[in-house]
Amino acid sequence: MRLISFLPGLLVVLILFGLYYKSRGILGLKPLTSLLFGSEWKPLKGSFGFFPFILGTFWVTLTAMILAVPVSLLTAIYLSEYAPRSVRGAAKSFVDLLSGIPSVVFGVWGVLMVVPFVAKLAGWLGTYSSGYSVLSGAVVLAIMVFPTIILVCLEVFAAVPRDLRDASLALGATRWETVKHVVLRKGAPGVFAAVVLGFSRAFGETMAVLMVVGNMAQVPKSLFDSAYPLPALIANNYGEMMSVPLYDSALMLAALVLLLVVLVFNLGARITLTRIERRVE
Amino acid sequence: MGNHRRRRAEERFFKALMIIATGIVMGSLLLIVGTIVVKGFPALNLDMITKTPKGGYYLGKEGGILNAILGSLYLAGGATLLAFLLSLPLALFLDMETRSKSGAALRVRFALDVLWGIPSIVYGAFGFLIMALVGLRASLLAGIIIVALLELPIMARSMDEVVRLVPAALKDASASLGATRLETAVRVVLRQCLPGLLTAVLIAFGRGVGDAASVLFTAGFTDSLPTSLFQPAATLPLAIFFQLGTPFPEVRARAYASAAVLTLIILIVSLAARWLSRKLKKHTIQ
């Protein structure tokens, strides 16, 4: 039993080391800056610039968070502070249940409804878009991270002592003022952690985004442009990567970059949440 | 109270916003399930769940998705079993260590949280690396191993939470009767939280069935049923993904049917998990 306790740590090290080991091939030949900030992606000619993919990931994730954070935060506040106990329970179960829906199912829905809608929206706004765009990816992702942010925020708000709320209400504050000055202030680190957790979930999400974002290796200039996020790049090209020199190395570097970004954010969030939990206990 | 009216207005404004937001969240989630049901259920028929695709999954218009249904069940079933064999001792270890207040439990939980955060596409890439290293081709076995690794942190941490709920007094009683820590773990802790452990298994199974990015690299895809661990296996998420892109409505119907079946499996599994965990709460001594 003691032996098995080394497994999780070992696995983390193995994944990090394995990806690094495979990316050494390309890291040794090209400076990291030209890989990360180069815009040309032509594996057959040996040029691997990740910039369009990094920016693609960044824009899709950022837009998704801009859409998801206010909505999920307001929902969490409503459920935690306003909704009757029965409604809260039912809504929580519902969100919980749906947090398990696989990402391809979100992707199917995105293709069926979001993509055509975004194409139409672009028409109304006087531009053209196929609908396979940053915006479509962001809408699908936003809905995917709703459950993460809402469920974590609910736990954070539940950890704010009831006495504090009662004191504020007793002083004549309205419910909203209590939320604004007491609950949100007290829960701020937890809310921040919830958002970061949602962000890192979105950042690494592959299939749903891949299906609606268009996958063109360009730096997107507007929300209606196609993008090509890093996870999609890895997923789409594993077939060819063994036949082109350095291609596999480049894709493993992409996986490593993805992993490092997600890990840093995830760990920050988890540490914050553990601290909050411990304070409550 | 000159600003009384203004404060009431602000209160109402934000409350309205919150109700709208809650509506958006619940509505969008309902809309997704609704779309899958509306598109998927008409496509479901007996052929769909009893036949494999004829003439290729991308172009062939005949047949069903039996390959993907069974492939997914084999794969997630095998992965869940493997993850269970690793997670259970881990959870029991964490329970024993927490009591002796060493740093080991903290470190293991930390590592599990790190693993939990790793995106599934990275597991896929890592799996691909390992397969190249040992000379294993895309197969049911490779898929099972990688999905098991993906499920490990989910299952181990859920089990850890369950095991922690077992009252300390119960363990103390067992220890005072002269049981070793291992005996206490297996005979007392394990028995006390059986439904909770099953819940953890179901949650992990649900994740395993639904994941696509990790099996893309490792399990491959095929039209036929795998007859051994070393053959590639189709899975529902990939069946959806591949068949959605064809120009033929008949093939797209298979994608919708796959989505409906997958969603159904996930919902059944998570409902069962919730039911079990409620049952657990009834039986534990608090």
Tens digit of pLDDT for each residue in A40-63? Answer: 888 888 889 999 999 999 999 999
Chain A 9-68, CB below 8 Å of chain B: which residues? 9, 11-12, 14-15, 18-19, 22
| Cβ–Cβ under 8 Å, residues B257 and B48 | yes
What ipTM describes this predicted complex? 0.91
CA-based max dimension of chain B: 79
Size of interface A-B (CB pairs under 8 A): 240
Confidence band for B99, pLDDT divided at 50, 70 and 90: low
Count helices and strands in chain A by DSSP H and E runs: 13, 2
Q: Min CA distance, A262 vs chain B (Å)?
A: 7
What are the start-end ranges of the H helices in A205-281? 207-212, 230-237, 247-280
Segment B50-75 mean pLDDT: 81
To probe the interface with A, which of B84, B118, B202, B278 has the most A CB atoms within 10 Å? B118
Answer yes or no: do B25 and A71 touch at CB < 8 A: yes
Amino acid found at B22: T
Chain A residue closest in CA terms to B270 = A97
Distance CA A50, CA A160 (A): 43
Minimum CA–CA partner of B253 in chain A: A108
pLDDT-derived band at B46, boundaries 50, 70, 90: confident
pLDDT at position B104: 84
Q: How many residues are recorded in chain A?
A: 281
Residue numbers in A near B31 (CB within 8 A):
109, 113
Chain B neighbors of A72, CB-CB under 8 A? 21, 25
The pLDDT value given to residue B284: 58
User: Can you give the pLDDT at residue B283?
Assistant: 57
Higher pLDDT, B38 or B187: B38
Residues of chain A falling short of pLDDT 70: 1, 279-281
- Which pLDDT tens digit goes with each residue over B160-178? 988 888 888 888 888 888 8
pTM for the predicted model, two decimal places: 0.91
Question: What's the pLDDT score for residue B50?
Answer: 80
In this prediction, residues B224-240 reach a mean pLDDT of: 88
Q: Is residue B147 predicted with pLDDT exceeding 80? A: yes
Kind of pairing, strands A41-42 and A47-48? antiparallel
